[in-house]
Structure 1
Amino acid sequence: MARKNARELLDEAEALLRKGRLDLAASRYRETIAALGKHPSADKVRARLGLVLLRLGRFDEAAGELERVCRSDPSAENRYRLAQAHAFAGRQEEACSLLAGVLEDDPNHQPAIARTAALYQYIGRGDEAMALIDDAIQRGLTGREIAHAFASFAIKHDRAADAIDLLTPHAEDQTLAPDVRGEMLFSLGRLLDAAGEFDRAWSAYEQGNALTRRPFDADRHDAVIDALIERYTPETLRALAEDGEEGKRAILIVGMPRSGTTLIEQIIAAHPAVESGGELAALNAAISGIPGRKTGEIHPPLNRVRGASLRRARRTYLDALDAVSTTADRVTDKMPNNFVHLGLVPAILPGAAVVHCRRDVRDTALSCYFRNFVTGNAFTGDLVSIARYIKAYLRLMRHWRAALPKACPDMPFVEVEYEVVSADPEPNSKKVVEGVRLPWDSACLAFGRDGKMAPTLEPDQAG
């Protein structure tokens, strides 16, 4: 078969991007860059790759690509995208510095104004954020980026009505790309909900989900969950469990999306001995690296979970913890859907602790429906799929609750109710912290005040 040229590879990458197949699009963009070599157009393709990596949440990779682009073309747009990557990777100072440079060159650069305002709000400079937005509006800068940034924090400033007026024309603009307009509608829904306009809010959420919905095969997902329950009996789990405490640094926080995993991570990560890892993709990567997995299965054959393959998987995960911190005694990983991988945790991460976050499933379902997940969580686009996914999740967690403590009695397995912790933080936070075998520290009641954790920043729809 003849090798594809750069034009063909680029066309494939763009087609994959339009279909929302971001991982494959990123791979094709990389192949295009390799095919172009030192051709001047390679940096334009690299900039596209940077945008896709932003959407995938691979912010450090995005920053690396965009830094290379900026060395040859330090345009305002390229520096703005690099600032985004730094912001989402937690490097706020670098982001603010880049954005200040963009605005010095172009005071009317609306995306940079919007991102700066969002960063100010994020780091506790809310009055400055609001002043920046108000100044932009007074100067007639009312584009969708400004409107969307305003919407993200207007409720905190009792300005929901103003934000609704500014955002509504953009949410109704049918010339916008579906994913971009969808994000406007989700933001509008939150504002209308806060303003008590519930019928309009529901309509906005319905339209947003219709525009951003992705395929979800509930029957296949049920089959995957059933196979996990059948495979991981207490006897199998006991046989898989490794001796030692090589995985002791890991604190896995699992549950449904929107079930309180962020709150629980904030509480635990406020402990002086703990560093927050956020949502790490490391466990899935570690398991994917074990050979022999068949099509349609998420785990390899159990006879492959041993020897060199098992050691490599463990090293993959532990390296990810080291990338977060080499000095913290413990590191949290709040990837919610790691609940599907708990059967392999006793083998890959002996000594790891698991915290299962539970929340009223009705609240969880609506919270998922009201959230625009750019990647992953394809089940959230309609209420029937959400219900099917929740039922499968509950079925699997009932199995782990019965099987894991019986098979691995030394493995910390803590379950916590979001509503209970919210209503009475101190005794329930203490239960969680001590449950993962940490000494209680009152700092865990002051989470979010030391800079270790903060409200989640969400990347723009890049494109």
Structure 2
Amino acid sequence: MTDDLLQQARAHHAAGELSVAESLYRSILATAPDHAEANLGLGEIGLASGQPAQAVGYLQKALNAAPENPQRWLALARALTLAGYPDDAGTVLDEGRKAGVLQDARADQPLPRSAREALDKALKDHARGRTARALKEAERVVGQFPDNGEARKRAGGMQLAAGQFGQALEHLRHAARLLPDDTEVLSNLGGALQKLGYLTQARGCLERAIELDERNAAAHSNLAALLNRLDEHEAARHHAERSLELKPDSPQSLVNLGNALKALSQREKARKCFEKALALDPKSVPALTNLGTLAKEDGDPTEATRWYEQALDLQPSHAETLHNLGTIYKDLGQPNSARQYYERAWAAAPQRLEHAEALTEFKTFTDPEDPLLASLATALQSGRLSRGEKVFAGFGLGKALLDLGRYDDAFACYEMGNKAAYTQPDQSGRYLSGLLHTYRSVCDKDFFRRTEGYGLRETNDIFLLGMSRSGKSLVEGLIACHPGTQPLGEDGAFVDFVKERLRGLEGQIIQTYLKDLDIEHSREDALAWLNQRQGEYRYRTWTLPGNLFYLALLALWLPRTPVVFCRRDLMDLALSCYFKRYAKGHEYTYDLEALGRQIRIYDEFIKLWLEVLPNPMLEVRYEDLVREPEATARRIYDFLGLDFQPGHLAALDQNRELVEHLGPANSLEAPAPLRADFIGFSKPFHDKLEPMMRAYRELEIG
């Protein structure tokens, strides 16, 4: 019966009816798991279907059954390469040669005139945009002459340009063995390795190419892109500029230079690079994507989305653009759309760990063999990760292991991610301690009695303040259920306004402003603030943690503005911060001692403001909010003078399905149900938080 099934499977396989063939092969394996031909058939189907990772196991069994067959060795090596494991593929080929089954590659295999003409035609088709035809012809030539370096080089170069990085890597690695000093091969190989995440190997190839030919513009450009990924932005700038000296009108080199300049805080110069790249090549997806990112960072999600969608019109599977759109929709409070874009990004580039890490926020891990978890674990075990990749792997894998209840392993992963993210000691604590000392010396109760009558009585602001992860977003989401309220989240407008008002002062700036301010200027400043962002909303809420440090000025300008302080259990708060990867800022969260000092400073500021400020103030504990949501909500609404309706809590249920998958360090920028199950989640980790507790207790406040 097995022979009959095998004949049927082969017939359907040969006819291209892969789903039928797959079903028949699986039927054979159900009774004979090690059947060589059935495993081989499933491996070949996996390769043909673009699922090389699934093909590897089947092809390994097929090889074990017939190690004398060279095609079995080559098929397994091909699957490993396409699955993103070129080192393992090289090991398989080396073992095949040692076994005497595979021959060493030869660089002298002749390429007849007809084959050279076919390659030339393929290159012309590729230049004219006939990509599919060009790649098919190049593959045909390589199939006939697998040990010709020129054929491999051309096929690999075209596949690299077409975004088929796994296939490109297979050809270019072979070409590099045949043509070890060919700088074009080395440059393209470095580019393919970089795209697949093999940064150390890529760097070696590109530096070797430049050593052989310092005027290789493509190698300089590729190395600039790689160095940007490694956060070596000055070096990236140097190589991008050198590439442009050699080839002034290279759109990709302009993009690489723009990325380096943006990272070096030269945003306008970066923007000009991206705009020039787009003028040279209106179809430059990297230029469009980077212009979108600049718009996103400028706080214009509509403009950013426009740029990103133009990029996706040209290249629907461009992973970086898909990821960026996911982040925009997440920030806009549209988590379902965010998840869909992150899923597409991971499918397009599974080797890029930032896509996998982003997806971990949207699922609860229950299966230790989950493909997402496996991809993160495999990357971590490879030992080839850059610092940035260790951050993504550590936080993503930490969340997955936390879901599975593997607490020690989860903490170890988070610790690795935090150490990789903590590139320089946080210096904010010293500044904030000094600022607190200044306020204590000036802003006592007598000071605010003397300044009674300063500022304006009207207000449309509500300030929600406390540490990150203290529950501010939950309170804001609850207040946002009331019509006429605009949630502005962690918008930095108030801090920017304060800095603008203090500009030009000398010495101890805050102290000078507080002592010199008179009633007239306090009202001028208050009116200037109120006139910012006027709109149809009755109230607007602000949650930026840094607003806490300028409440004395708010009290002088708008003493009737309500302030809600959000508090949380110290251990839960600290661990929630430590387990969260912040997109920017919050560097103190990456080190437990710095985190402990920061929480203590926040607590001291809140204590001071509660003692001296004239504003209406309310303390809300995270634990009360999630355990008794209606009672706490009524208390908040009564404090603000708003009419509470039970339906306000019901409005929070719209994202219940996604919230169920969030970890204790994650949150949605959208109305969300209140969960009490994170209370006390830090208990299994109390011993590991001792450095935080010690720093919290021992901080000397002047």
Same fold (TM over 0.5): yes
Match of 1:265 in 2: 476
- CA shift for structure 1 position 437: 2.4
- Is structure 2 residue 450 aligned with structure 1 residue 239? yes
- What letter is aligned with 1:318? L
Q: Which moved more, 1:271-280 or 1:76-85?
A: 76-85
Select the residue among 613, 616, 636 that pairs with 1:432: 636
**Residue 471 of structure 2 contacts residue 568 of structure 2 at CA under 8 Å; is this kept in 1?**
yes
The equivalences for 1:46-65 within 5 A come to 47-48=258-259, 52=263
Match of 1:370 in 2: 579
- What letter is aligned with 1:252? F
The equivalences for 1:88-103 within 5 A come to 98-103=307-312
- Is structure 2 residue 442 aligned with structure 1 residue 215? no
Match of 1:456 in 2: 669
Change in 2 beyond 3 A, CA 1:140/1:69: closer
SS of equivalent to 1:155:
coil
1: CA distance, partners of 2:346 / 2:430: 49
2: CA distance, partners of 1:287 / 1:127: 34
Q: What is the TM-score with the length of structure 1 in the denominator?
A: 0.73
Paired-residue identity, %: 23
- Is structure 2 residue 318 aligned with structure 1 residue 318? no
Match of 2:394 in 1: 185
Q: Which moved more, 1:124-133 or 1:197-206?
A: 124-133
Change in 2 beyond 3 A, CA 1:277/1:302: same
SS of equivalent to 1:153:
coil
- CA shift for structure 1 position 364: 1.0
The alignment yields a C-alpha RMSD, in angstroms, of 4.5
1: CA distance, partners of 2:462 / 2:270: 28
- CA shift for structure 1 position 197: 1.7
- CA shift for structure 1 position 260: 0.5
- CA shift for structure 1 position 67: 9.0
Q: Which moved more, 1:146-155 or 1:389-398?
A: 146-155
- CA shift for structure 1 position 111: 2.0
Offset from partner CA, 1:333-378 (integer Å, 9 cap, x none): 1012322222221212232110100111111111121223343333
1: CA distance, partners of 2:294 / 2:448: 40
Q: Which moved more, 1:301-310 or 1:271-280?
A: 301-310
The equivalences for 1:93-132 within 5 A come to 98-116=307-325, 123-125=334-336, 129=340, 132=343
Larger RCO (CA within 8 A; separation ≥ 6): 1
- Is structure 2 residue 373 aligned with structure 1 residue 161? no
- CA shift for structure 1 position 295: 5.7
Match of 2:41 in 1: none
2: CA distance, partners of 1:284 / 1:162: 43
Select the residue among 439, 452, 459 that pairs with 1:228: 439
Select the residue among 507, 514, 528 that pairs with 1:302: 514
- What letter is aligned with 1:363? D
2: CA distance, partners of 1:295 / 1:19: 36
- What letter is aligned with 2:604? R
Change in 2 beyond 3 A, CA 1:125/1:378: closer
SS of equivalent to 2:626:
helix
- CA shift for structure 1 position 49: 8.3
- CA shift for structure 1 position 389: 2.0
Q: Which runs of 5+ in 1 are unaligned?
A: 1-13, 22-31, 33-38, 458-463
**Residue 286 of structure 1 contacts residue 313 of structure 1 at CA under 8 Å; is this kept in 2?**
no
- What letter is aligned with 2:414? Y
Q: What is the TM-score with the length of structure 2 in the denominator?
A: 0.50
Offset from partner CA, 1:154-198 (integer Å, 9 cap, x none): 338989933221223445566555345323322222222122121
- Is structure 2 residue 611 aligned with structure 1 residue 402? yes
Q: Which moved more, 1:239-248 or 1:72-81?
A: 239-248
Q: Which runs of 5+ in 2 are unaligned?
A: 1-226, 235-240, 242-247, 656-666, 671-702
- CA shift for structure 1 position 305: 2.8
1: CA distance, partners of 2:457 / 2:278: 42
- CA shift for structure 1 position 232: 1.0
**Residue 225 of structure 1 contacts residue 396 of structure 1 at CA under 8 Å; is this kept in 2?**
yes
- CA shift for structure 1 position 205: 1.6
**Residue 192 of structure 1 contacts residue 198 of structure 1 at CA under 8 Å; is this kept in 2?**
yes
- CA shift for structure 1 position 284: 2.0
Match of 1:349 in 2: 558
Match of 1:381 in 2: 590
Change in 2 beyond 3 A, CA 1:448/1:118: farther
1: CA distance, partners of 2:379 / 2:527: 47
- CA shift for structure 1 position 259: 0.4
2: CA distance, partners of 1:447 / 1:62: 45
Change in 2 beyond 3 A, CA 1:162/1:237: farther
Select the residue among 339, 349, 369 that pairs with 2:548: 339
SS of equivalent to 1:317:
helix
